[in-house]
Structure 1
Amino acid sequence: MSECHYIVCLREGAWQHTNRGTTSAPFTSREAAIEAAIGEARASGDPDAEVIVQESATSAATVWRSRQKEQSGS
């Protein structure tokens, strides 16, 4: 399993994404934070990179995987 996870979350009223201890913020919307995280995940070159949105302390969902993207041909 890859350690290349980009976690998108709302913290202190601002959307952000984190990866390996580095935080990118603030973003004006959830969608903007997701798009930026996907861009960084693609640029990482890690074939197992993932973007995960954390909606709450107990709810998270994977919204993008690099392998999934490659398989779809996009």
Structure 2
Amino acid sequence: MENNYSYAEFLKAVGKNSSSLQAEKLLNDIYMDLFLNHIHRQQTMERLMGLIDLSLDCRDEQAFLKYTESLKKLEEAN
């Protein structure tokens, strides 16, 4: 899902020989990618917090450690 957009690509899209439609499309693609990544990250964090709660309710220490470590890695990646 993750695309890497370069500044050079953007400059090509908005350059003199390029139409504004290409630049607009590239910007829309960038914004959509950022939005989808944000939503995916949020949903993953919510899912992990739910699993952490469940592991606490079930007194499952291994699951708790696994899910808290995953949540920690996700937060560090931000």
- Could you state the TM-score of these two structures normalised by the residue count of structure 2? 0.28
Greater fraction of residues in strand? 1
Higher relative contact order (CA 8 A, sep 6+): 1
- Could you state the TM-score of these two structures normalised by the residue count of structure 1? 0.30
Greater fraction of residues in helix? 2
